[in-house]
A and B are shown apart, each in its own frame.
Chain A
Amino acid sequence: MSPEHFSALWLSVKVSVVATALNAVIGIPLAYVMARRRFWGRAAVDVLVTLPLVLPPTVTGYYLIVLLGRRGVLGAPLYAATGWSVAFTWYAAVIAATVMALPLLVRTARVAIESVDQNLERAAFTLGRAEWRTALEVTLPLARNGILAGLVLAFARALGEFGATLMLAGNIPGKTQTLPLSIYTAVQTGEAGQAMTLVAMLTLLSCVVVVASARLGARAL
């Protein structure tokens, strides 16, 4: 395995793990709120979260550039203040993967949370538990299988992310070139053998994820 391949593999794993962690932090509370609360703008949040699932990834990537690029809505003031931009760094790959994976986690976790018997939550309320404690002690533990399944889906999506990553993070070998981008580059430059190796690596990694998630699911039961 060449150092370049190894760095692509390592970057992909790193980006996917961080993106999945971010997904957990943002996505699980979001899924809970979407499942259990009625608030103004709920439908808009739903559309916004789901959009990356249906838009072409390059379009999502384009929006991310508009938002976070050096001349972007948020990116420009950040660049003016610090001289740093998130674009073309591995953080950009994390952000792209996070945004692309979020709808998968939120939708799966939301269904799981909605299927928890609300009388259990009401029982917890009458036994003195505040809503957030009830969520932590009753709702989320009971929705665990669905949430774990959502996290696995999110990880897999992050691992395979291509379009949005290319738009926001670019394709810089050793810096932002993840496995899928590396495969694309190898095919483009006619390095069929290298492409084959990378494809095999990604396939193997995916198999590991599938097996691990099956084990997790079995244990959760």
Chain B
Amino acid sequence: MSQQLDVRLVKRLPGFTLDVTWSAGEGVAALFGPSGAGKTLTLQCLSGLLRPDAGRVVVGDRVLFDAAAGINVPPQQRGLGYVFQGYALFPHLTVADNIAFGLRGRPRAEAARRTAEVIERMSLGGLEDRRPHEISGGQRQRVGLGRALAPDPAFLLLDEPLSALDVGLRQSLREELAGILSDWHVAAVLVTHDFQEAYRLGDQIVVYEAGQVIQAAPRSELLWRPASERVAGILGIRNVLRGSVVKASPDRIQLRWRGQILETVNSPLRSYLPEPDSPLAFFIRPEYVRLIRKDRGPADPVHHMNLLSGEIVREADFGTTYALYVRLDNPGRPAQGDYDLEVEVPRLVYEILEIGRDRRWQLSMHRGSIQILPGSTGDESAS
């Protein structure tokens, strides 16, 4: 059941080159990245709809494409299910005929049995004779998935399945899609430019940028250990900052930022030991910067790690949360334009602490909340 998918592709287009290598196994691999990074192009090459210029695509022990050996299995024989953006249901066929479309060539009775089974499992009973324009968006998604799953594909390829929907439907269909993917135990490759979607649906995330893979990792690792500043940038991570190394051990890294020493955690697993004084990028998520309450006595450096103080120069109201832009009292140019740190607080906290009136605060950052970006060498342009 669980097959390995090994992908190495080179495809040259005018003004764009796709050159990627990655693997996927059980579960869902999400290809994530901005529009135009080559994700859909990858799916088209995998499915055989487009012929790559070089590379090799192997599913289990089946070679689907090998430029060197001259192998290029046509899409009809690849045994991969493709779910298109907007589902591409056949508008002139009924729900049942759409689902049965890929079962041609099987004995009639078996095709009918399989069609009935898929309709049942997709909860599409009673809609067999409807046309795609006569059913709801959620039902259309199930028909699209059912049609691709009916022939029992080795891998399911999903091209931005949710991107054409509006927010409300999108969320409920995302949950439904997650349920179907785990129910059917089907290995899948999913393309998305929405990180939340990639994280919710993907077991593994492959990050694309400008035709290249810049990180491929299990989703939690990607979220907490982005490989580089570029990945952090694409993930939309805020407070990506640059300092310099003071001291590094397998467990800890001490760094200097804005004239102050920050204690951070290193991971023995990645055996990353930068030289003292070398530049180092790191980030802290805005919701992990703590404001120190003034009604609980003075800040205690033993209890409050990485103590800072500053003034809120701007704020943004996001309804349930507030973003506060804090400029530190440390001398020198602020790290991010007119501020040093973005701090996110829940609305309730904002109201209780009367942040609207009180603009001067002490802040602390737990060493475990500061994430080091080891891939950065300091020669990349600032984000």
Chain A interface residues toward B at CB < 8 A:
117, 119-120, 122-130, 138, 141-142
Do B151 and A127 touch across chains, with their CB atoms under 8 A apart? yes
4 closest A-B pairs by beta carbon, nearest first, are A127-B102, A119-B88, A126-B82, A125-B75
When distances are taken between beta carbons in the complex, the residues of chain B under 8 Å from A119 are 84-86, 88
The A/B interface has a contact count, at CB < 8 Å, of: 55
Do A128 and B105 touch across chains, with their CB atoms under 8 A apart? yes
Flag whether B303 is at the interface (Cβ < 8 A).
Answer: no
When distances are taken between beta carbons in the complex, the residues of chain B under 8 Å from A124 are 90, 101
A117 to B85, CA, bound (A): 12
Q: A123-B82, A125-B49 are in contact. Are A130 and B92 (CB under 8 A)?
A: no
1/0 per residue B135-159: CB within 8 Å of A? 0000000000001100100000000
Give the residue of B48, B91, B92, B101 whose beta carbon is less than 8 angstroms from that of A127: B101
Q: A128-B104, A128-B105, A129-B104 are in contact. Are A122 and B76 (CB under 8 A)?
A: no
When distances are taken between beta carbons in the complex, the residues of chain B under 8 Å from A123 are 82, 84, 88, 90, 147
A126 to B80, CA, bound (A): 7
When distances are taken between beta carbons in the complex, the residues of chain A under 8 Å from B82 are 122-123, 126
Do A129 and B49 touch across chains, with their CB atoms under 8 A apart? no
Do B88 and A125 touch across chains, with their CB atoms under 8 A apart? no
Flag whether B78 is at the interface (Cβ < 8 A).
Answer: yes
Do A120 and B76 touch across chains, with their CB atoms under 8 A apart? no
Question: Which residue of chain B lies nearest to A119 when distances are taken between CB atoms in the complex?
Answer: B88
Do B47 and A126 touch across chains, with their CB atoms under 8 A apart? yes
28 interchain pairs, CB-CB under 8 A: A117-B88, A119-B86, A119-B88, A120-B90, A122-B49, A122-B88, A123-B84, A123-B90, A123-B147, A125-B74, A125-B75, A126-B75, A126-B76, A126-B80, A126-B81, A126-B148, A127-B101, A127-B102, A127-B148, A127-B151, A128-B77, A128-B102, A128-B104, A128-B105, A128-B151, A129-B101, A130-B76, A142-B91
When distances are taken between beta carbons in the complex, the residues of chain B under 8 Å from A117 are 88
